[in-house]
Chain A
């Protein structure tokens, strides 16, 4: 089951589709203590950037390595702890959000934890959509409208 997330902002429409897996939905909608509720307020505002069609830039959305997997992150950097929402595009402007990770637990970009998170997102996609590939492109305008020019992935060295 996937859940389409409506904008949290009052009076706004979903100009892009953000779909949550059941697990992710449970994770972010389950009430917590005041600190977590505050952090979720920031996270929901950051997710609203995508949903309400605000301009996207590489500080907000980034294509993870390996590029051929098509796994992107949405960054919710402040306040600490920074959070990352990992997912893949079903089609242009339709993002299927799969994992939520605390940035500091992922370590450096080449860490096993990052690799596991990316692989986990890819595996979850295959489970949800068996036989259907995500939309994979390193050209940001292929996957999302309203993107600001920039470098959206780190070329492999």
Chain B
């Protein structure tokens, strides 16, 4: 509470968090649909028939996160004989530390900060190489930068 009571949300922050939620819900739903379809347990036509909708509408729903409302999600899941499980909400401060980072990014982070935590300022590192070939450098200028996130 103390973290948010003293400030006002910025437009980008609100937009980011809304889109992130949509994207995450969509990702889970799209993945579930793909797996069910691959297993032969459902098709867009099956869902359309069950919901009494045009198949093109099902395609639109499954094509983009922003096309979905909570009602849509519920309907789609019901049509696939499913519902969300294991729903939890966590405070940002209580989120577990990620246990994986891409080696390139992890390497850049460590090289740029000399520590485990990112530095809010941009810092340059030199001659970072990609694993695909031993010699392929990711910058013609032999330097890259670690950039803090957007919010």
Which chain B residues lie closer than 8 Å to A90 at the CB level? 130, 132, 136, 138
Q: State whether A6 and B118 are in contact (beta carbons under 8 Å apart), knowing that A38-B12, A78-B65 are contacts in the complex.
A: yes
Chain A, range 28-50, C-beta contacts under 8 Å to B: 28-29, 34, 37-42, 44-46, 48-49
B44 CB to nearest A CB, Å: 13
Bound complex: CA A96 to CA B63 (Å): 25
Instruction: Report whether B147 and A10 are in contact in the complex, using a CB–CB cutoff of 8 Å.
Output: no
Q: Is B23 an interface residue (CB 8 A)?
A: yes
Instruction: Report whether A6 and B15 are in contact in the complex, using a CB–CB cutoff of 8 Å.
Output: no
Which chain B residues lie closer than 8 Å to A49 at the CB level? 23, 27
B112 CB to nearest A CB, Å: 9
Which chain B residues lie closer than 8 Å to A17 at the CB level? 102, 104-105
Q: Is B56 an interface residue (CB 8 A)?
A: no
- Chain B, residues 53-75, CB within 8 Å of chain A (1/0): the string is 00000000011111000000000
Chain A, range 53-87, C-beta contacts under 8 Å to B: 53-55, 57, 59, 77-79
Instruction: Report whether B11 and A37 are in contact in the complex, using a CB–CB cutoff of 8 Å.
Output: yes
Bound complex: CA A90 to CA B144 (Å): 15
Instruction: Report whether B130 and A44 are in contact in the complex, using a CB–CB cutoff of 8 Å.
Output: no
Which chain B residues lie closer than 8 Å to A106 at the CB level? none
Instruction: Report whether B98 and A20 are in contact in the complex, using a CB–CB cutoff of 8 Å.
Output: no
Q: Is A97 an interface residue (CB 8 A)?
A: no
A78 CB to nearest B CB, Å: 4
Instruction: Report whether A4 and B104 are in contact in the complex, using a CB–CB cutoff of 8 Å.
Output: yes
Instruction: Report whether A41 and B143 are in contact in the complex, using a CB–CB cutoff of 8 Å.
Output: no
Q: Is A140 an interface residue (CB 8 A)?
A: no
Bound complex: CA A22 to CA B27 (Å): 30
- Chain B, residues 139-151, CB within 8 Å of chain A (1/0): the string is 1110111111111
Instruction: Report whether B95 and A10 are in contact in the complex, using a CB–CB cutoff of 8 Å.
Output: yes
In the assembled complex, 22 residue pairs joining A and B whose CB atoms fall closer than 8 Å, in A order, are A5-B149, A6-B118, A8-B16, A8-B149, A13-B101, A15-B100, A17-B104, A17-B105, A40-B15, A45-B16, A45-B22, A46-B23, A55-B27, A55-B30, A57-B30, A57-B34, A59-B62, A78-B19, A79-B66, A94-B138, A149-B34, A149-B38
Name 17 extra pairs, CB < 8 A, besides A8-B149, A78-B19.
Answer: A4-B108, A4-B146, A6-B147, A9-B20, A9-B149, A13-B98, A13-B101, A15-B102, A17-B104, A37-B15, A38-B11, A38-B15, A57-B27, A79-B66, A90-B136, A128-B139, A148-B30
Nearest first, the 10 closest Cβ-Cβ pairs linking A and B are A41-B15, A13-B98, A45-B19, A78-B66, A11-B95, A91-B132, A41-B16, A41-B12, A8-B150, A14-B105
Binding site for A on B (CB under 8 A): 10-20, 22-24, 27, 30-31, 34, 38, 62-66, 92, 95, 97-98, 100-102, 104-106, 108, 118, 122, 130-133, 136-141, 143-151
